[in-house]
Amino acid sequence: MLATALAAAFVLASALPTRANDDVLRRTADPAQQVLQTVDYANTRYSRLDQIDTGNVGRLKVAWTFSTGVLRGHEGAPLVVDGVMYVHTPFPNVVYALDLDADGRILWKYEPKQTSDVAAIMCCDLVYRGLAYADGMVFLHQNDTTLVALDARTGAVRWSVANGDPRLGESNTATVMPVKDKVIVGIAGAEFGARGHISAYNIKDGSLAWRAWSTGPDSDLLVDPEKTTELGRPIGKDSSLKSWEGDQWKIGGGATWGWFAYDPTLNLVYYGTANPATWNPSQRPGDNKWSMTIFARDADTGMARWVYQMTPHDQWDYDGVNEMILTDQEIDGHPTPLLTHFDRNGFAYTLNRATGELLRAAPFEPTVNWARGVDLDRASPSYGRPLVDPAHSTETEGEDVTYSGICPAALGAKNQQPAAYSPQTRLFYVPTTRMCMDYEPFHVDYVAGQPYVGATLTMYPAPGSDGRTGALTAWDAVAGRAAWTAPERFSVWSGALATAGGVVFYGTLEGYLKAVDARTGRELFRFRTPSGIVGNVMTYAHRGRQYVAVLSGIGGWAGIGLAAGLTDPNAGSGAGQAYGALTSYTNLGGQLTVFALPDAP
C-alpha cells in the first residue's frame, strides 16, 4: 500500500498547478517527505502514508533516537528531504542534518550566535516552530528575527537578513512558508508593544519583496479601501486608524507569530494576527483593527483581498494566529472552497476562502462563556461580531478590578498547536485546553523593549472538568459540532497528525505519544518519551518503510513553569501555577524519538 501511495503522489504532482513554488509542490505531493511544518500548503497535517494503520499501529517500536542537546520547549517537527532529516531546537536555534541511511549520523550542524538578551523578550518560553525547505535551501527564522537560508547539502549560509529589532521587543517563534519565489515570514512581540507585520523575502537573495503591517495607514496595511472587503463590504478608508485612539496603533500589537496557508489556485496567503497591546482594554478604546484578524493576501503583491476580525477590541488576550486549514467541501449543497480556523477564543470559524464570507461559527470548547455566540444574521448590523457577555468583559468596571470565571483562559481553548484534517473522515482533529481564568487589568506605560502587558492572570481547570484540562476533539466543521472527544489530564499542546492509515497521532504534556482511531477516538497506542511533548508529530517513509517521529521537551506557555524553573505563582502569565502538577509527571529534556513497525520491509 505504501508503494501505491507514493506512485499516486507523483502522478498528482505532475497535475498540480505551477503557480506555487514548483519544488515545494512536487515534494509535498510525495508523502515520503516533509518540507513544510504544515505538511502541505493547505495546513491539513494529513499524510497519505498508510503502511501504519489501525490494525498494526499498536506494534510500533522505537527505531532510533537523537538528543538535541538543548532544553526548553521543543515545538514544531523535523523535516525529511531526499534521505536527510533536518532537526531544529529551541533557542539558540541549532539546526542538524541527519543521514537516514546511517542511523541519524550528523552530516552538518548550524549553530547561530544569538545574544542571550533575546531570551528576555520572549514572552512564553524560548520556543521555535521549525524549518522549511525549498529549492535546495533550509530556511531558519531565528528567535532574534534573523532569517537565514542554509544550503541543504552543506549547512553553509546562502544569505541572511534581519526581519525585526529585538531592542524594540520584536522576536520570532514561528516557522516560514516558501511560496513561489518568496519566503513568507511573521514577527512576535505584541506583549512588548511591537507592531505586527508580515513580510515576503525573495528566495534568491533575501531582498524584501513586500511588507504588510497589521495596524496603521492603508498604505502600510497594503489594503485597497474599496476592494479589500470584510464580510462582503469594502473596509473603507483609514479602517485601522479610525479604530484606535490617537497614535496607539504604532504600539498596537497584532503580531503574526502563527501559521501560514496558501491556495495556489487563488494565489492567496492566509494567516491570523495576534492580540492588541496592551492587555488592558481600557487603555485602547475602539475595535483595534486589524488585530485578531484573518487576512487573505495576494502572494505576489501582499495586497489584502479580504479580512475578518474575530475578536474586535480583544479584552482577554485571545490571539488570532492559529492555523487556517483549507478544504473543499459542500456547504448547503454547494461545493465551496473553505477555510476553517479554531481560534483561541473557543470558536471554530468556517469561511469561504475565496470571498471571506462567514459560513459557520460555533464553540468547539463547551465551557466558552465570554460570548454567547457569533452573530450569523447577514441582515444584522453586528453580523460576524461576537455577542459578548457583559458579565465576562474585563473593562465593565474599569482597571484594577478582578474579573472572575472567564472561559477560556488567555492561553485559549486551543493555542498555536495545529489541528489536522482527514479527507477520509472529513473531520478536524483539534488539540484543546479546558481552562478558565481570573483577569485583573491595570494601567501600564509603554517603554520600548520593555513588557507592555497591563494585566495579571490566574488560570485554573474549567468547572465540571474533573481536573482534566485538555482533550483531542474530532470536529465536524460543516455541522458545527464534535464527533468525539478524547479527554486528557493536561492541555494537549502537541500538534495532531492524521494519516491515510486511519490513525491520528498526538503527544501529551506528560510525554506520551498516542495514536487513536480517526473515526472513533479509541486509543490504539501510547509510548512514554523522556519529556513532555509540545512538538508536532510527523511521518515519513525511507527505503519503503514508514516512520513516525516526534520531538519531546517540555515547555511552551503551558510548560513554561517547569521549563524555566518559575516559583512565583504569577509568573508565566499564570501558567506556572496552573500547570504546577506537571513536575510530578515529566522533566526537562530535548529528544527526537522515531518509531516504526518491527516487521516492516
Catalytic residue list: 317
What letters, b where the CB count within 10 A reaches 16 and e where it falls short, cover 573-593? Answer: bbbbbbbeebeebbebbbbbb
Nearest to 210 by CA among 125, 301, 278: 301
**Residue with C-alpha cell 473557543?**
346
What letters, b where the CB count within 10 A reaches 16 and e where it falls short, cover 436-462? Answer: bbbbbbbebebeebeebbbbebbbbbb
Amino acid at 342: F
Contact 270, 324 (CB under 8 A): yes
Amino acid at 31: P
Q: Cell digits for 291?
A: 488585530
Query: What's the rounded Cα separation, in Å, for the pair 328 and 118?
Result: 41
Q: Report CA torsion sign: 377, 378, 380, 386.
A: positive
Q: Cell digits for 361?
A: 461559527
| Strand 455-461 to 420-422 pairing | unpaired
Q: Cell digits for 505?
A: 497521532
Q: What is the DSSP code (8-state) at residue 34? A: B
Burial of 518 (0-12, 13-18, 19+ CB in 10 A): buried
Nearest to 214 by CA among 268, 253, 241, 246: 253
The residue count of the chain comes to 601
Query: What's the rounded Cα separation, in Å, for the pair 34 and 28?
Result: 7
Query: What's the rounded Cα separation, in Å, for the pair 244 and 249?
Result: 6
Residues 6+ apart with CB under 8 A from 135: 21, 23, 178, 203
Q: What is the largest CA-CA distance in the chain?
A: 67
Apex CA 253: angle with CA 249 and CA 254, to 5°? 105
Q: Report CA torsion sign: 385, 391, 392, 393.
A: positive
